[in-house]
Amino acid sequence: MRATAKAHTNIALIKYWGKRDEQLITPMNNSLSLTLDGFYTTTTVEFHEDRKEDTFILDEEQIHGVAYQRVTDYLDFIRIYADKPNLYASVNSINAVPTAAGFASSASGFAALAAAATRALDLTVSDKELSRLTRQGSGSACRSIYGGFAEWEQGSLADGSDSYAVPIAPANHWDIRVAAVVLSATMKDVSSREGMKRTVDTSVFYPGWVKHIPTDLKNIKAAIDARDFELVGQIAEANCLKMHATTLGANPPFTYWHDTTMAVMQTVQAMRKSGIPAYFTIDAGPNVKVLYLPEHEEIVQKTLIETSGVTDVILSRPGQGISYI
Amino acid sequence: MRATAKAHTNIALIKYWGKRDEQLITPMNNSLSLTLDGFYTTTTVEFHEDRKEDTFILDEEQIHGVAYQRVTDYLDFIRIYADKPNLYASVNSINAVPTAAGFASSASGFAALAAAATRALDLTVSDKELSRLTRQGSGSACRSIYGGFAEWEQGSLADGSDSYAVPIAPANHWDIRVAAVVLSATMKDVSSREGMKRTVDTSVFYPGWVKHIPTDLKNIKAAIDARDFELVGQIAEANCLKMHATTLGANPPFTYWHDTTMAVMQTVQAMRKSGIPAYFTIDAGPNVKVLYLPEHEEIVQKTLIETSGVTDVILSRPGQGISYI
């Protein structure tokens, strides 16, 4: 009753922004991501017949409070799913996702947890089923089941059973790179969960966001298929700008951008003007991720690190899906 | 056949953003502004029976090219209106609108030109009629006919005859202040005319913008009437954010903000957190205007000038409408 799984985080090129059902974690729109080699979580889950509670160790530290609660709540969900209500687990995770990089470690974290927990219980689950189960831990984590490009299909059923990710193209389809740009000031006033909810509930621009997603998705999938980097970059950057625009139309309005976020956006646009194809995308926080091609790695890294307010630039390649160790 | 008029610029609290008719300069939505004491244009127009062309002197310099063309085209419009096709004019303007402050000098410029030209031709025009005539020189200029708060009613007639500004509250209704924050880098890639057009034609958020204007207008007029500064500030700031959000949903997307713009926005929000009611608004460019109350003038000025990237802060009070000298 013991298994170890490794899962990578992913960066959305078409953003998940808004829940249809807060409890089931089903989204208002499909999203599309690239799994990243450089950032991952390795988790061992062992179930014990003689325990009365779960334990959670993260990076060699015993975890209590909110983070523990999220893990044990998720294990409750898995216990019900497996019809093993009396088995408690010890969970041991190592995060290779620098918090400062502004990646949600919940994506790799819940993908690894779902994979290790189901495997430890000897459940036979398909990738789709694992993605569906992972979704209920953390929405965007459901895309991390697959390597390369994956699409989270929002589904339409009330019970969420048709809301899971599917593979679009494997990691070896195309070597495009992502630089995670770490900023000096990264405080955020509004959590992504709260920001998403406020936007869905109040933004005058939310209908415009939802309406345009199918077009962005259709176009980016064709561009990925054709390995058209400029087109992928343009669509991803425009989609990110649209997501962030919705927060400006919320009541009260808010933004995840800092002055330093804007400085990096300007740097990326200036690189393009000088002939280097590079494009940015930004999640619900101030940090910026930059898409580029392998042949421009040196100049992109150098230009980003020299931008005012940037403290680190961490590079990544397309990553693999779930693996078991 | 000679007259001199003085007109002040105005800052929109509910933005004019999008033309219904490019030729007539009628807008897609009503807008509301505050006329500002600190920034104005004084223009003398003299018509001559023996001339064959107009001349235009601005700040003691003879003007040719695009700026001259805009003035002489506008005088053509006035000549047709007055049924005096053969009278040409000498126009002499002095701008007390520092270009760097990021105010469109076209607002005070065309209001003063329309007033001086009609007066020089001895035409009797009502304020509404003068506003309507001014609109065809520069849209937002039509609000500068009045002191204090004015609303530009978009109108609905195809010939634009019901599209003009009306007074909402005079300058002495309420002494609220505006700081024009001048930034070191103020280049803009997209003109306001082009930005407006691209947004109307392509932004997925434009319908959301137009739809919400009546609510913003109703609320801000009630707040101006009640002299509720925080409410006026909140509505104006939120309206500005919505306007700028629409550019992020255009195709291709664009923004008027720089990193320094964002830094000033953060400074203003930080002032609020520390108990100083101050609110920002931004037109189609990187500069920021900050609304505040007289009792906070010193701290607001000091805090803004200390913000990174700010080179000057120019203060203004509510200003008067058109006057003749």
What percent of chain B is modeled with pLDDT above 70?
Answer: 97
pLDDT at A100 over 70: no
Q: What SS3 class is residue B229? A: helix
Domain architecture of chain B: domains with CATH: 2-172 (3.30.230.10), 177-316 (3.30.70.890)
Asked if A211 lies within 8 A of B204 by C-beta distance, the reply is: yes
pLDDT at B101 > cutoff 90: no
Give the residue-averaged pLDDT of A286-293. 96
Could you read off the pLDDT of B266-310 as tens digits, one per residue? 999 999 999 999 999 999 999 999 999 999 999 999 999 999 999
- For A177, phi then psi, to 5°, come to -115, 155
A98 touches chain B (CB under 8 A): no
3-state secondary structure B101-140: HCCCHHHHHHHHHHHHHHHHCCCCCCHHHHHHHHHCCCHH
Q: Is the pLDDT of residue B312 over 90?
A: yes
Q: Is residue A86 scored above 90 in pLDDT?
A: yes
Q: What is the pLDDT of residue A99?
A: 64
Q: Please compute the mean of the pLDDT values over residues B255-259 and round it to a whole number.
A: 96
Chain A residue with minimum CA distance to B245: A245
* Contact with chain A for residue B204, Cβ under 8 A: yes
Contact predicate B10/B167, CB 8 Å: no
Q: Considering CB atoms only, which of A205, A253, A259 is closest to B262?
A: A259
Asked if B205 has any chain A CB less than 8 Å from its own CB, the reply is: yes
Query: What is the Cα–Cα distance from B256 to B269, expressed in whole angstroms?
Result: 19
| Averaged pLDDT, A22-50 | 96
Partner residue facing A262 (CB), from B204, B234, B257: B257
Neighbouring C-beta atoms of residue B7, cutoff 10 Å: 29
Best to test chain B binding among A254, A262, A308 (most B CBs inside 10 Å): A262
Q: What's this model's pTM, rounded to 2 decimal places?
A: 0.94
Residue B259 and residue A257: Cβ atoms within 8 Å? no
Q: What is the ipTM of this complex?
A: 0.92
Q: What are the tens digits of pLDDT across the range A223-264?
A: 999 999 999 999 999 999 999 999 999 999 999 999 999 999
> A234 at the B interface (CB within 8 A)?
yes
Average pLDDT value for residue range A268-288 = 96
For residue B105, name the pLDDT band (cuts at 50, 70, 90). confident
Residue B87 has what DSSP assignment? -
d(CA B94, CA B4): 11
Does any CB of chain A come closer than 8 Å to the CB of residue B257?
yes
Kindly determine whether residue A208 and residue B208, on different chains, have CB atoms separated by under 8 Å: yes
Residue A188's contacts (CB-CB under 8 Å, 6 or more residues apart) are A256, A284, A285, A286
Tell me what pLDDT residue A97 has: 75
- Among A205, A256, A282, most B C-beta atoms within 10 A, so best to mutate, is A205
